[in-house]
Amino acid sequence: MNKLKYKLTIIALSFMLLSQRQIVCASPLKIETEKTEVTVMSNSIVIKHRFYKGRSQHRRWDDDKKKWVDPRWIDD
């Protein structure tokens, strides 16, 4: 019985860690020329992960525009 509780606890903790994982990819790019300076701001894209119906999935979220980049969740 203790082994079963241990395994269920490990599985539950794994699910919580997978659902909280985020990756942020953003950095401004600055281009300088002789006369002008151009600053290009890249979007702040966050990769959201979830575990749904036994599958690990991810989807990109644009944190600046507050909307999904991908139309649906993608299986890992």
Task: Provide the residue ranges of all domains of the chain, joining segments of one domain with +.
Answer: 2-70
| Kind plus residue range of the DSSP H or E element containing 30 | strand 29-32
Q: pLDDT grade, residue 15 (50/70/90)? A: low
pLDDT at 3 over 80: no
Question: What local confidence, expressed as pLDDT, does residue 46 receive?
Answer: 87
Overall average pLDDT of the 2-29 stretch: 66
pLDDT at 38 over 60: no
Question: What local confidence, expressed as pLDDT, does residue 45 receive?
Answer: 84
Burial level of 47, CB count in 10 A (0-12/13-18/19+)? middle
Asked whether the whole model's pTM tops 0.75, one would answer no
How confident is the prediction for the chain on average, in pLDDT?
Answer: 74
